[in-house]
């Protein structure tokens, strides 16, 4: 009987300890340039989440809250671009409750992408830098909600509002920089620099390709329609020729349809057999603002 009581108590203690994990935002002496370059940030980043593959840091000065997210796991970075992701901020402080979010839309297929073939040098789109640059050309706006004034669809870089830039770095992989003015979160008379906030990040799952063990039956998953960095059916796969363990890939190759590098589900499977591409990634990080 005592053992049965002790086990749930131990679990509750672990949960309580996790909830007390509060990070301190870094104080920025100089205004951060929102340009998608992470050189201004203290390295290495002090926060990491395995579910999303994000290394990140949180900072503030007297007027802005800053985030820098990086992902050097190419698979998870491409998942973010393809499926979309979002960040949200919350606070339960008296007279200063916050429930604001920023949504990055999923990357749409570029015009003519599904018409490319081997003769059109499809493989030349395959570098990660080109994938990020194509993504930046497509997605130049965000959707925000819950802020004081900047709600709706806005350019990534705008005057006096939420500013975001995306870049690519040989070490950090994809880089997202975010600046949120405090005036979009708090009334001027209630802001305190020991304020505790919660950051939530959700990376949306990709829809599994038809015929895979993770398939959800969606007809608009984008599989079979090609993407930058993908490969055309009819080309040899990485192992050379068709993959006998992947009927979906073989069928696409036989029909000369475009497929994506994500199509080999075994390649991205976890030890439990789940494919990280078709699972939602999420993180929650509590933090306190810093004062000079």
Per the CB < 8 A criterion, the answer to whether 253 and 233 are in contact is: yes
- Mean pLDDT computed over 17-22: 59
For the chain, what is the mean pLDDT? 73
Of 196 and 224, the one with more pLDDT? 196
Burial 91-129 (b: 16+ CB within 10 A, else e): beeeeeebebbbbbbbbebbeebeebeeeeebeebeebe
61-93 per-position pLDDT tens digit? 999 999 999 999 988 998 999 999 999 999 987
132-188 per-position pLDDT tens digit? 888 998 888 899 999 999 999 999 888 878 999 999 998 899 999 999 999 999 987
What does the pLDDT read at residue 83?
94
Of 26-30, 34-38, 175-179, 269-273, the least confident: 269-273
- Mean pLDDT computed over 256-269: 42
Alpha helix (H) residue ranges in the chain: 2-19, 74-83, 128-138, 247-254
| DSSP state, residue 122 | G
Work out the percent of the chain whose per-residue pLDDT is above 70.
Answer: 63
Has residue 49 got a pLDDT over 80?
yes
Of 243 and 36, the one with more pLDDT? 36
Of 185 and 246, the one with more pLDDT? 185
In 3D space, the residue among 137, 142, 145 whose CA is nearest the CA of residue 155 turns out to be 142
Q: What residues contact 95, with CB distance under 8 A and at least 6 apart?
A: 190
Of 212 and 247, the one with more pLDDT? 212
**C-alpha separations of 182 from 65, 92, 157, 266 in Å:** 7, 16, 17, 45
What does the pLDDT read at residue 214?
57
- Mean pLDDT computed over 248-258: 35
CATH number (1.10.3470, 3.30.70, 2.60.40, 3.30.200) of 24-108+129-207+279-288 reads 2.60.40
Domain ranges, ordered by start, for the chain = 24-108+129-207+279-288
Distance CA 8, CA 286 (A): 25
**C-alpha separations of 155 from 12, 131, 184, 240, 287 in Å:** 44, 20, 16, 43, 27
- Mean pLDDT computed over 221-247: 33
- Mean pLDDT computed over 263-285: 68
């Amino acid at each position: 009987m005592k053992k049965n009581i002790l086990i749930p108590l131990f679990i509750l203690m672990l949960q309580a300890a996790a909830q007390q994990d509060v990070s301190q935002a870094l104080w920025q002496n100089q205004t951060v340039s929102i340009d998608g370059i992470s050189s201004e940030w203290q390295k290495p980043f002090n926060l990491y989440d395995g579910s999303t593959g994000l290394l990140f840091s949180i900072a503030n000065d007297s007027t802005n809250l800053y985030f820098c997210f990086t992902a050097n796991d190419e698979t998870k970075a491409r998942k973010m671009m393809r499926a979309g992701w979002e960040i949200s901020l919350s606070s339960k402080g008296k007279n200063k409750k916050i429930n604001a979010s920023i949504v990055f839309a999923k990357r749409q297929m570029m015009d003519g992408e599904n018409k490319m073939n081997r003769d059109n040098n499809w493989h030349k789109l395959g570098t990660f830098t080109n994938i990020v640059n194509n993504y930046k050309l497509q997605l130049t706006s965000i959707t925000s909600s819950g802020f004081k004034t900047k709600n709706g669809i806005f350019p990534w870089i705008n005057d006096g509002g939420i500013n975001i830039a995306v870049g690519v770095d040989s070490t950090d992989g994809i880089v997202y920089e975010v600046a949120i003015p405090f005036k979009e979160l708090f009334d001027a008379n209630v802001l305190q620099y020991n304020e505790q906030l919660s950051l939530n990040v959700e990376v949306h799952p990709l829809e599994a390709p038809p015929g895979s063990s993770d398939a959800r039956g969606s007809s608009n998953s984008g599989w079979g329609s090609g993407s930058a960095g993908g490969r055309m059916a009819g080309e040899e796969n990485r192992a050379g020729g068709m993959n006998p363990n992947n009927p979906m890939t073989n069928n696409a190759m036989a029909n000369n349809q475009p497929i994506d590098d994500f199509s080999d589900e075994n390649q991205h499977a976890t030890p439990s057999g789940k494919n990280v591409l078709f699972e939602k990634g999420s993180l929650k990080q509590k933090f306190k603002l810093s004062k000079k």
